Each structure stands twice: as C-alpha cells, then as structure tokens.
Amino acid sequence: MTRKTAQPAATPRLTFLGAAQNVTGSRYLLEAGGSRILVDCGLYQERDLLARNWDPFPVPPASIDTLLLTHAHVDHCGYLPRLVHDGFHGRILSTQVTAEIAAIVLTDSAKLQVEDAGYKRKRHAREKRIGAHPEVPLYTLDDVAATLPLFEPVAYDTPVAIGAGITAEFREAGHILGSSSILVGIGSGAARRTVLFSGDVGRWDKPLLNDPVAAAGADWIVVESTYGDRLHEQTGQIKEHLAAVITETRRRGGNIIVPSFALERTQEVLWYLNELIGLKRIPHLLVFVDSPMAVRVTDVFEKHPEILDEQMRALLANHASPFHFSGLKLVRTVQQSKAINLISGTVMIIAGAGMCNGGRVKHHLESNISRPESTVLFVGYQAVGTLGRQILDGRPEIRLYGQMHPVRAKIENIPGFSAHADRDELTRWLSGMQQPPRRVFVTHGEPEASAAFAKHVGEHFGWQAHVPAYQETVLLED
C-alpha cells in the first residue's frame, strides 16, 4: 500500500474530473477512508473538450480501488478501457443490465476509435500534416476484453462493502435500462456520512422504464443539470408531435431520419410508433432501425422484463412486444443499410449516432439533408460542437465526409423524448430528502444550465448549491 498519499482518516474529498460545467466526461473521484473511488468514467464528446480524452488521467489509474458505474452511456463509461489500459485493475460495480449494455457500448466504441484513427491517418497523410493527437485509437477491442471481467454486478437497494467502512448502494434512476443513482456511505454510527451521486436522472411516467427513486438520506448530493434550466413538453404531447411529423413528411414524399441513441431512445421511439400504428394515427410505413448496437440493446430489453415498468411487462407477457410491429426492419449489415436509400416513398430511418458525430446516420443524412421533402427528427440531447447541434441550431450548410451540403430538409425536435429530468423533475427528485443536505454540487450541464439550477435549488429549498469547476476538489466536512 505505497500508493496512497493522503494521511489516514483524512477528511473525505471529492474531485470533479469531468461533467463540471459541461455535459460529458462524467468522472468524480471520491477519496475516503484510505480508498480511492471513481464514480463513472466517461468519454468527453464536446468537440472543444475532446483533447481531455488524451490527457494523462489526473491520478494514477492503478491507485483507484473501485469504480462505481451509474449507467452505460458512453459519456459515463466510455473511458473505462483506457483507464484499464493505463493500469486500473480494481472492481467495476454496476447493475447487471448496465454491465451487459456497457459490454455492447464499449465494444462499439472501441471499433469507432479504431476506425477513426484509420480515417485520420489517411486524411493526414493526404493533407501532409500531423494531427494534434496521435493517429492511434484511444483503445482497442483488446482493452475492452481486459475491462469486461472487472465488472461485478450488484442488485438495486442493497448496500455493498467497497472498502474500509465504505458502502455503495445503487438505486433506480429511471434514465436508461439499468441506470442508477449511487449512495456512498462513509464510516459508521453517528460519524457515518453519505454522498449521493444522482447519475443521470430520468423522468416519471415514461414508457418502458420504472420511475426514478427520489433522493433520500444524504449529506452531500452531486446532481446532474443537463436540463436544469428548462421544462420539457409533457410526455402526452410526444405522440401528437410524432404523428404530425410523420404525416407531414409523408405528404411531402420525403424520408424521416431520426438520429438516435441506441440505448432506450430507439426503443422508446418504437414504443410510440407501435402505439400510433395501433391507434391508426399514422399511415403504414417502413421503419428501419439501422444500428447494430440498437438491435443488440433491444435484445437486452426483452431479456430483462424484471426491471421494466408494469405496462411494458404486460405487453411482453402478451407477446405484444413493441419491438416487432409490421413494417419494422432491423438492419444488420452495411449492404442492407445502403439499400435503404434505393427505396422510393417515405420511410423512417432510426440510426446512430444520436448526435450525428459518427455511425450510419451520416450516410442517411448525406442522402436526405439537402432534400426539402425530407425531415431530420431529433429525439435527444445534442451537445455543443456536435454535427447534430449544428443542424438543430439552423446552420445553412453542414460538412459530411469532408463535403459541404446545404441544409434543406425540415428540422424537427421532440424534446419530450428526453431521458433526462427537466428542472421541475430534478426538483421532484431532490424533494425526497427528509433532511436538508449539507451541500449540493450541481454538475453535468452546460454552464448556464448548471448555474440556473444551482440558483433554483437555493431559492426553492434554501440549500447551499455549488457548481464545481473542472478538477476542483472539495472537502466533505461538517
């Protein structure tokens, strides 16, 4: 045990290594009782922050004892293989479903890393220049293979020991399948203190997933604020909005391109389509899920009815899975994917990546972005600097595969699909506290959203709320 620099029984400290005044790269380092615990280990995805993925990790990865993973989104788990490559060999605790989905996500991410490095190498050679970062992948499938055995699945609502006097308890976060908030307990008896990490907080009364379990019993709270300054449209309006987009686009004779996250969002869109078809609210149309990862994740949903909500369990029990309606085609090969563009008439294409910064959605955009009769329909958060955000912000032209394309397609957004709680839902989540926390740390939001939500927490609850800066360390003292 030569690696610890802190004195024994030092005041617990929390360092914000990501998702601090930005949305991606969630990484929180908790040092307590002689242990180093990292909560989440995400990739940075904002264009301006991508360089941070290449920075050496701020503490030696081998010195981290335990990793607690809230959920399997790449901005929460996508750096793991690199951490393992650089020496981390501790346990990774997550729910069973998070472990299963993380295996799919990390495998996909490694393939993208390798592909990207290849493209970069070719482009730089052609342009006779050297890029800012090495033209090697951040990690490979070998690193993923070394990472997956470190996962140890844990059950919800069951505290597990993770170090001397330290426990972790996972609670339903209702954000994506298997997602959690994590309560870390430090010490025992009257000296026991707790830190609650919200993870990404989901929404109440959504299809498929159980509702989030509200915060309870914590001394310090680290809460996300992706939509901390906004209110979503009511989930009831989603169906109407979706039906209108489909009917309109069909009238114009174009296609509907839905850049979608493979986890949960794709399945939720399918759930609504299935409803609309059942209600005869939309005409029969071909729907392609053109994302091998989404197809694999859909299998995980059907394999784990025990953690789906009642409505969804009932559908599955009646063999009425919303993931198998007539007209739905699951695309597996690149050949099938390319053939979609040959179909005339309106089709809906749900394809990754959700922020358009990679994946098959790019070639569907290439065929449709300049067609006024087509629609690009956003159903998820678009981070600053991503292609999706540029389109959503109304750029007149965009770059795809090195070529500029005028944006003539109709751009639609259904924010109600969000997997993230809005300001009032985050407030509802915090309202579960019986005692005021000592302090709330507002993270995982763009600076304005985090600042607005911190202000709101102060005004609404009268609690102390702070928006930590990148790499800021706070002492958790009474």
Site for Zn ion, rule CB under 5 A: 73, 200
What are the counts of helices (DSSP H) followed by strands (DSSP E) for the chain? Answer: 13, 22
Cβ of residue 249: shortest distance to Zn ion, in angstroms? 29
Nearer to Zn ion, 200 or 219 (CB): 200
Instruction: Judge whether 359 and 387 are in contact, CB under 8 Å.
Output: no
Which residues, 6+ apart, have CB-to-CB distance to 153 below 8 Å? 93, 94, 95, 96, 99
Q: In angstroms, give the least distance from the CB of 237 to Zn ion.
A: 23
Nearest residue (CB) to Zn ion, 73 versus 389: 73
Give the residue with the Cβ less far from Zn ion, 288 or 441.
441
Kindly state the smallest distance separating residue 125's Cβ from Zn ion, in Å.
Answer: 36
* Residue of 145, 168, 185 lying closest to 95 (CA atoms): 168
List Cα–Cα distances, 291 to 299, 317, 430, in angstroms.
Answer: 13, 26, 36
Shortest distance (Å) from residue 74 CB to Zn ion: 9
Angle at 382 between CA 19 and CA 115, to 5 degrees: 85
Residue whose CB is less far from Zn ion, 73 or 239: 73
In the complex, minimum distance from the CB of residue 131 to Zn ion, in angstroms, rounded to a whole number:
29
- Calpha distance 340→148 (Å, rounded): 35
The nearest distance, CB 124 to Zn ion, in angstroms, is: 33
At 369 the three-state DSSP class reads coil
**Between 77 and 365, whose beta carbon lies closer to Zn ion?**
77
**Minimum distance from residue 308 beta carbon to Zn ion (Å):** 18
11, 475 Cβ separation under 8 angstroms: yes
Q: Which CB sits closer to Zn ion, 73 or 232? A: 73
Is residue 305 a contact partner of residue 316, using CB atoms and an 8 Å limit? yes
The one-letter amino acid code at 337 reads S
Nearest to 267 by CA among 226, 209, 331: 209
Closest CB to Zn ion among 172 and 200? 200
Nearest distance from C-beta of residue 368 to Zn ion, angstroms: 27
Structure token digits, residue 160: 């597990």
The torsion angles phi and psi of 321, rounded to 5 degrees, stand at -55, 130
Q: How far is the CB of 71 from Zn ion (least distance, A)?
A: 6
Cβ atoms within 10 Å of 11's Cβ, excluding its own: 12
- The answer to whether the CB of 269 falls within 8 A of the CB of 380 is no
**At closest approach, how far in Å is the CB of 26 from Zn ion?**
8
**Between residues 24 and 35, which has the closer beta carbon with respect to Zn ion?**
24
Q: Which two tokens stand for residue 475?
A: 């002492």
Q: Which of 174, 168, 24 is nearest to 91 (CA)?
A: 168
Q: Is 166 or 177 the residue whose CB approaches Zn ion more closely?
A: 177
As measured in angstroms, the least distance from the Cβ of 264 to Zn ion is 9
**Closer Cβ to Zn ion, 200 or 275, answer by number:** 200
Token output for 103: 């295996």
Gyration radius of the chain's alpha carbons: 22
Q: Between 46 and 200, name the residue whose CB sits nearer to Zn ion.
A: 200
User: Residue 295 to residues 184, 203, 394: CA-CA distances in angstroms?
Assistant: 34, 24, 31
Give yes or no for a cis peptide into 353 (omega within 30° of 0).
yes
First to last CA, the chain: 28
